[in-house]
């Protein structure tokens, strides 16, 4: 006499499979994201070493964040990397546009064609304003504890409204000033050396997409993409000014220890940035 599964037995098997799937699928997703994080961290390591190699060839001076002719830091250090930029025109235009690829692309970044997924800090890697620089250029010797200060981050997406760049171009740099004002709920503008953790969702509720937890950051406020994104299972990758890298869990980034550089932060430079207590640019 042949035996067969009863309906109850089949339902039990299906229920067991469903339970196992519910348990294992999140684990698989976390493992996949961990692999992506490792690839992104490897990108950071190679870029960080490329920056350090550049400084060794130029009297320990860090590269510019961008030049007046539109050349950005990622292109400036290309001779040391030879990897990562996809040149060409912006879609539907003759405008020159470098998309991020290779080691300049994070596998977890939500927009493949977004340029400037990784960003250098705007005070140490200055960008000229016309023919002038917002800040001066800096050398390794100018930096207090470069092994403790963040130089490179992974930011958010930003569709800046330009029809020539529908995938969002964003900024090539991140601004310590912006981090200071958006992150520190008690910021008064009078003490940039304030000690606080960079884990605030956002002190300005109407800029909700500047929340560090949100992967994209796509908004009308273009500077939202300057802020770190904890897209790797609640962690974000950073590279320090000496070239070493870390994966930082949310809440572990510290303004005083890892961002603020005495004598380099704009408010420490006479005539560059010295806001009144009520100042905020937006």
- Supply the Cα-derived Rg of the chain in whole angstroms: 22
Q: What Å distances lie between residue 54 and 51, 172, 252, CA to CA?
A: 5, 18, 29
Question: Residue 277: which pLDDT band, with cuts at 50, 70 and 90?
Answer: very low
Q: Is a pLDDT exceeding 90 seen at residue 241?
A: yes
Q: What Å distances lie between residue 221 and 173, 226, 259, CA to CA?
A: 15, 11, 23
Question: Residue 23: which pLDDT band, with cuts at 50, 70 and 90?
Answer: confident
Q: What is the model's pLDDT at position 102? A: 79
Q: What Å distances lie between residue 259 and 75, 160, 227, CA to CA?
A: 24, 26, 13
Nearest CA to 136 out of 282, 275, 271, 280 is that of 271
Q: Mind spelling out the 3-state secondary structure of 41-87? A: HHHHHHHHHHHHHHHHHCCCECCCCECCCCCEHHHHCHHHCCCCEEC
| Mean pLDDT calculated for residue range 69-84 | 82
User: Lowest-confidence range among 139-153, 196-210, 249-263?
Assistant: 196-210
According to DSSP, the β-strands at 132-133 and 128-129 are antiparallel
Distance of CA 175 to the CA centre of its chain: 11
**Percent of the chain scored above 90 by pLDDT?**
21
Q: What is the model's pLDDT at position 66? A: 81
| Mean pLDDT calculated for residue range 233-261 | 90
Q: Using CA atoms, how far apart are residues 69 and 66, in angstroms rounded to an integer?
A: 8
For 152-181, write each residue's pLDDT tens digit: 998 877 655 443 344 455 678 888 877 776
Question: Residue 89: which pLDDT band, with cuts at 50, 70 and 90?
Answer: very low
Q: Where are the alpha helices (DSSP H) in the chain?
A: 7-57, 73-76, 176-183, 255-258
Token digits for 207?
């800029």
Global pTM value: 0.76
**Percent of the chain scored above 70 by pLDDT?**
62
Name the range with the highest mean pLDDT among 27-31, 79-83, 188-192.
Answer: 79-83
For 187-231, write each residue's pLDDT tens digit: 444 566 666 676 655 544 444 545 565 555 444 455 567 778 888
Q: What is the model's pLDDT at position 216? A: 53
Question: Residue 49: which pLDDT band, with cuts at 50, 70 and 90?
Answer: very high
């Amino acid at each position: 006499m042949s035996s067969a599964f009863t309906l109850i037995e089949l339902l039990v098997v299906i229920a067991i499979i469903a339970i196992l799937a519910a348990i294992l699928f999140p684990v698989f997703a976390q493992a996949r994201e961990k692999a992506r994080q490792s690839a992104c961290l490897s990108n950071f390591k190679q870029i960080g070493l490329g920056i350090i190699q550049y400084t060794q060839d130029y009297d320990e001076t860090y590269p510019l964040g961008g030049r007046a002719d539109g050349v950005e830091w990622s292109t400036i250090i290309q001779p040391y990397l030879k990897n990562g930029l996809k040149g060409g025109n912006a879609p539907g235009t003759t405008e020159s546009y470098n998309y991020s690829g290779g080691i300049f692309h994070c596998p977890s970044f939500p927009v493949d064609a977004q340029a400037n997924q990784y960003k250098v800090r705007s005070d140490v890697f200055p960008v000229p304003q016309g023919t002038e620089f917002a800040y001066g250029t800096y050398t390794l010797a100018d930096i207090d504890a470069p092994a403790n200060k963040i130089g490179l981050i992974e930011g958010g997406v930003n569709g800046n409204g330009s029809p020539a760049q529908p995938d969002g171009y964003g900024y090539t740099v991140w601004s310590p000033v912006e981090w200071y004002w958006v992150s520190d709920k008690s910021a008064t503008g009078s003490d940039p050396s304030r000690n606080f953790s960079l884990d605030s969702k956002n002190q300005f509720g109407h800029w909700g997409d500047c929340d560090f937890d949100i992967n994209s950051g796509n908004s009308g406020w273009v500077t939202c993409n300057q802020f770190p994104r904890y897209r790797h299972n609640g962690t974000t990758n950073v590279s320090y000014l000496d070239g070493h890298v870390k994966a930082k869990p949310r809440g572990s980034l510290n303004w005083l220890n890892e961002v603020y550089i005495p004598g380099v932060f704009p408010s420490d430079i006479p005539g560059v940035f010295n806001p009144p207590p009520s100042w905020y640019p937006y």
